[in-house]
Structure 1
Amino acid sequence: MRTGPEAAPDEPVYRILLIEDDDGDALLVEELLHDTGMRFELTVRTTLAAARSALAGAPIDCVLLDLHLPDVSGIDAVAAVRGMAPHTAVIVLTGLSEAQAGTDAMAAGAQDFLVKGKVEADLLHRTLRYAVYRSQTERAGAEAQAARLRAEENARLERGLLPQPILGTSTVRVTSRYLPGTALALLGGDFLDVVEGDDGLLHAVVGDVSGHGPDAAALGVCLRIAWRSLVLGGHRGEDLLHLMERILIAERGSQQLFATCTLLTLDQDSPSATFHLAGHHEPLLTTADGTRELSAAHGIALGILPEQRHWPATVVPLPASGALTLYTDGLTEGHDGETTRRLGVEGLLALIEDLPHTDPVTHVDHLIRRTHELNAGRHSDDLAVLRLDWNRGA
């Protein structure tokens, strides 16, 4: 590697790779670079194969490429370099008799071309600086486009994971929250939904697909849509869970993903609630006396032992007014303050007792914020919360 002259501290250092098999031409290029007065680090390779390791190693701002190399020539050389370093500026060096070669090279992806023997220091400086600038602009545009596409995909997944409840005459108030565990909006597999059936019963689901990222999120969306369709089609209880399990197995492919979930059917006339737990934890019941965890029979998570098909029902009488909270383990598996303990259900109930009595939306938001404060970023998991409030007297 050869380093250019000293310059002002705010001047950038251009990292240049010269791919040239003629020693004389390589020396002329280096002398021209020195004459420009710019700060540079020059690496010289004589073949495309030798240049491959240089491009794979330290970052390169610009490639000066001779079109006639021992192992590749012409437009193929440009395509090969662009394939190895798609976001690096490429300036082609052509001969005096190759008038069309430079234009063809730019059509193949080069930022510019220079004719050997007709290059002066000022022209080289200007061409190199503009080529690097255009390359950086193209890269920023590509990254911005990728970010937009990622945001659009995440928005589609969010719409799938957080649907609008289908409510008819029900007076139950629905509050839902979903927070992905990963920072760049790569959604996890938590899902939830609420549907009122033609029979007047209110049906709800909260579930969690194992794993994180787009595969788990896609499967979570699939299960949520399947649940809504099956519920509206009249399927209930163990039959509903069996069909969801079949869909999970078909959609997960070779990945050994599984899902836990809680099904809830709320009868507002009784009032009572029927639960089916598939590897999931019990809901919370809030009344005038406080909040407690309901005791319910357990069944196995979906996709682990498909032949078992056993998810017993638990029926719980409800007070005239109260709230049921279904949630995923992102709410309880974080740390409990400065200790290494997990928050757990007991810690969650203690937090709920300490929170002021407010409206359901504010209460859920305060609860999530408080668990995040205690966890302090030490544990990352997706979180879904669904709260159903009713008041028959009202």
Structure 2
Amino acid sequence: MPVPVPRQRAIPAVESGQAQAAPAGGLLKVEAHRDAAPAQGTGATLTLLLIEDDPAGSPIVPDLLDSAGKPIRVRTARNLTEAERLLTDDVHCILLDLALPAPGGGDTGDELAVLRHVLRLAPRHAVLALTASTDAERGAEAVRVGAQDYLFRDELDGRLLSRAIRYAVERKRSDTAERRLAEGRLRAQENRRLERGLLPTP
């Protein structure tokens, strides 16, 4: 009578060193930070969203290049409604014409209403303000409000804009990292304060 051969036990990937062990009672899960800036990994192509009511008349030249010499993709939106539809996670930078009408079409008296709207719409993206060379004060105020930089429309060329895009993306990433670090420190201080409050009084 043939002797039955015992079946070999399948070795889980965790035991064989091919995977990380899942925590007890649950699946292994990796969560991305909700406020993470648009990813720009190795080899990623930069994407610019141009918000201007007349993209055809824009001084922007098509040969925008990143630091590696690769073309920068350009999307164009004629208004804020189109911009919201085109604003996906692969957009790294927004070039906003400050001369666009204010949201809602009303005259709010706020010259930077359109910028404030875009900053609320895209808090994780780098924003460059585009203005006339005779309106430098408005550009400086745009930076104080939250834009990474401002550019003069009639002095813009492909090389200048390419460099400004790269710097704006890096500046936004640095600002986001500093903000997270500060928030982490505040949370740690609050946790220590709570722990001290929970300790028994000797």
Q: Same fold (TM over 0.5)?
A: yes
1:115 counterpart residue number: 152
2:97 counterpart residue number: 66
1:31 counterpart residue number: 62
Q: Read off the aligned partner of 1:29 and give its amino acid letter.
A: I
- Looking at secondary structure, tell me which structure has more strand per residue: 1
**After the TM superposition, which residues 347-386 of structure 1 pair with which residues of structure 2 at under 5 Å, given as runs?**
none
d(CA) in 1 for partners of 2:55 and 2:122?
Answer: 24
1:48 counterpart residue number: 80
d(CA) in 1 for partners of 2:132 and 2:184?
Answer: 41
2:107 counterpart residue number: none
2:3 counterpart residue number: none
d(CA) in 2 for partners of 1:151 and 1:47?
Answer: 43
SS at match of 1:101: helix
SS at match of 2:130: strand
Q: Is the 8 A contact 2:64 2:159 kept in 1?
A: no
Q: Number of aligned pairs?
A: 155
Q: Is the 8 A contact 2:60 2:156 kept in 1?
A: no
Q: Is the 8 A contact 1:19 1:51 kept in 2?
A: yes
Q: Is the 8 A contact 1:35 1:121 kept in 2?
A: no
**After the TM superposition, which residues 96-111 of structure 1 pair with which residues of structure 2 at under 5 Å, given as runs?**
96-111=133-148
Q: Is the 8 A contact 1:89 1:135 kept in 2?
A: yes
1:149 counterpart residue number: 186
Correspondence 1:94 to 2:163: no
Normalising by structure 2, report the TM-score.
Answer: 0.65
Structure 1 residues 39 and 23: CA distance shift in structure 2, 3 A:
closer
Q: Is the 8 A contact 2:95 2:128 kept in 1?
A: yes
d(CA) in 1 for partners of 2:66 and 2:181?
Answer: 37
The answer for unaligned runs of 5 or more in structure 2 is 1-40, 104-109
Q: Read off the aligned partner of 1:145 and give its amino acid letter.
A: A
Q: CA deviation at 1:63?
A: 0.6
Q: Is the 8 A contact 2:95 2:130 kept in 1?
A: yes
Q: CA RMSD in A?
A: 2.6
Aligned sequence identity (%): 35
Q: Read off the aligned partner of 2:148 and give its amino acid letter.
A: Q
Q: Read off the aligned partner of 1:136 and give its amino acid letter.
A: R
Q: Which has the higher contact order (CA 8 A, sep 6+)?
A: 2
